[in-house]
Amino acid sequence: MTQHIFILLLTLITLSSTETSQLVPSKILKKAHKAILSKIIPFQNGALISGERGHLFTLDTSTLKMTQIQMPINQFITSIVSNGKDKVWCVGHDGLIIFSKDSTKSFQVQNIDIKRESPLFDIVMDKNGQGLAVGAYGYALFTKNFGKTWTTIVIDEYEPHLYNVVQDSQKNYYICGELGSIYKLDSNAKFIKKYETGLETSFFGLEIIKENSFFAYGLRGLLLFTKDGLKFEKVPHQSQASFYGSIKKGKEILFYGTDGTILSYDHHKMNQIKFDARTKIKTALIVKHKVIQYLDIKERIGITGALIKDKKIILTTTHGLRDLTY
DSSP state of 25: P
223's enclosing H/E stretch is strand 223-226
Report the candidate in 30, 34, 31, 36 with the shortest Cα–Cα distance to residue 53.
Answer: 36
> Any residues with CB less than 8 A from the CB of 190 and at least 6 apart, and which?
none
- 123 by DSSP, 3-state: which? strand
Comparing CA positions, the residue from 30, 33, 64, 32 lying closest to residue 47 is 64
Please give the C-alpha separations between residue 286 and each of 197, 236, 275, 281, in angstroms, as whole numbers: 25, 9, 17, 16
- Cα dihedral 107, 110, 115, 121, rounded to 10, equals -80
pLDDT value of position 2: 37
Count Cα neighbours of 301 within 13 Å in the Cβ-side half-sphere. Answer: 24
Closest CA to 253 of 261, 244, 262: 262
pLDDT score for 249 = 83
- Tell me how far apart the alpha carbons of residues 185 and 281 are, in angstroms, rounded to a whole number: 40
Per-residue pLDDT of the chain (326 residues; tens, 9 = 90+): 333 445 545 554 444 343 334 689 999 999 999 999 999 999 999 999 999 999 999 999 999 999 999 999 999 999 999 998 999 999 999 999 999 999 999 999 999 998 888 999 999 999 999 999 999 999 999 999 999 999 999 999 999 999 999 999 999 999 999 999 999 999 999 999 999 999 999 999 999 999 999 999 999 999 999 999 999 999 988 889 999 999 998 888 989 999 888 888 876 555 665 544 333 333 333 333 333 222 233 467 899 999 999 888 999 999 999 988 76
| Class of residue 8 by CB neighbours under 10 A (exposed 0-12, middle 13-18, buried 19+) | exposed
Can you tell me the distance from the alpha carbon of 159 to that of 12, in angstroms, rounded to the nearest whole number?
17
Q: What is the pTM of this model?
A: 0.87
Name residue 251's amino acid. K
Amino acid identity, position 109: V
Q: What is the pLDDT of residue 252?
A: 85
Q: Which domains does the chain possess? A: 5-248 (2.130.10.10), 249-326 (no CATH)
Helix (H) or strand (E) holding 212: none
Q: Give the per-residue pLDDT at 47.
A: 98
